[in-house]
Structure 1
Amino acid sequence: MHGSIIILLKRYVQTQYDHSTWVTLMELSGISKVEFDHKTVYPDEYIYALVGHASAMTGVSAGELHERFGEYLVPDLMYMYQRLLRPEWKTLDMIEHTELTMHKQVRKEHTENSPPVLDVTRIGPNELVIEYVSDRRMGGLAVGIVRGLANYYDEADQIHIIPTTSEDGEHVNIRVRRIPPRGE
């Protein structure tokens, strides 16, 4: 897992809970001596352990925590990749172009990093299907990012997200539909 994601997870935990919760999660995960930096790729087991212990501490499922964190990530991701974005894009456009813009750039800059593969099929102007493929099994994170994008583009009340498979699989299908406002 890329260090920038873990650093953002730390900030998420500290803002949603507090710093001592982060320290406890690090201790429970057996990684309290690790100093994360944004340029390093860390073992996926770190994030699994952190989220697993957070789930046990809060009573919130790991999948739900992934979704919440995914939603939280969006403003930072949009800032980090703003040079790759087009001003006319909205939620569905952003999803449709993620693989060939942001993920392509991540793979180019960090060859040891492996973001999920997003095979997006545009069904029509207001609907698409995402096939999320990753052995990390964090489809909930993708669902959260879609929600975050809808908030970012001020379309949260128009975007409907329907996972059509289990969100904790290696292959997750997610249908995203935009219901345009009246008169559009």
Structure 2
Amino acid sequence: MHGTIFTLLKRYVQTQYDHSTWLRLLEASGLTSGDFDHKSVYPDEQMYALVGNAAEMTGLSANELHENFGEYLVPDLMYMYQKLLQPEWTTLDMIEHTETTMHAQVRREHTENAPPVLNVTRISPHELVIDYVSKRRMGALAVGIVRGLAKYYDEADQIEVTPTTSEDGEEVRIRVRRKR
């Protein structure tokens, strides 16, 4: 997994909890350093260990943590990819274009990295379906990112996000609908 995600996870834990929580989390996960290089790729198992131990420490489920972290990621992701965004996009437009813009760039620039595949089907001007495909099984993170996008575009009260399959599978279907 890309080092940027680890760096943002560190900041998330430090802001939502505190620095000592991050240190305890590293120790429980068997990691000797919490400094991740944003240009490097790290084993997925390190993220699984961090999230699993964070779930134990907080009492939240891994899916809840992934969703919360996904929401937290959005402002930074939008900043990193701002040159690829169109000013007229809304939440649904952003989701519809993620695979061909942001994910395509990540795959070009970091061939060893593998963001999830998002097969997005626009059902109507107000609804789409995301078929998330990843061996990482982090569909809950995608759900959180969609909720974070709705907040980013100031549409949180208008967007319904509904996983229609288990969020921890390799293939997760997520329905996103704008209330009219």
Per the TM superposition, whether the score is higher than 0.5 is: yes
How far apart, CA to CA, are the structure 2 residues paired with 1:83 and 1:26? 34
Q: Provide the residue aligned with 1:163 in structure 2.
A: 163
Q: How does 1:1-184 map to 2 (within 5 A)?
A: 1-33=1-33, 35-180=35-180
Deviation at 1:111, TM superposition (A): 0.3
Deviation at 1:114, TM superposition (A): 0.2
TM-score by length of 2: 0.99
TM-score by length of 1: 0.97
SS at match of 1:115: coil
Deviation at 1:108, TM superposition (A): 0.3
Deviation at 1:91, TM superposition (A): 0.1
Q: One-letter code of the match for 2:167?
A: E
SS at match of 1:70: helix
SS at match of 1:141: helix
How far apart, CA to CA, are the structure 2 residues paired with 1:134 and 1:70? 16
How far apart, CA to CA, are the structure 1 residues paired with 2:4 and 2:115? 13
Note the residue ranges of structure 2 that are not aligned, 5 or more in a row. Answer: none
How far apart, CA to CA, are the structure 2 residues paired with 1:33 and 1:79? 27
How far apart, CA to CA, are the structure 2 residues paired with 1:20 and 1:48? 20
SS at match of 1:130: strand
Deviation at 1:17, TM superposition (A): 0.2
How far apart, CA to CA, are the structure 2 residues paired with 1:135 and 1:52? 17
The CA RMSD measured in Å over matched residues stands at: 0.7
Note the residue ranges of structure 1 that are not aligned, 5 or more in a row. Answer: none
Q: What are the Cα deviations for residues 4-56 of structure 1, in whole angstroms up to 9, with x where unaligned?
A: 00000000000000000000111111112353110000000010000000000
Calculate percent identity across the aligned residue pairs. 77
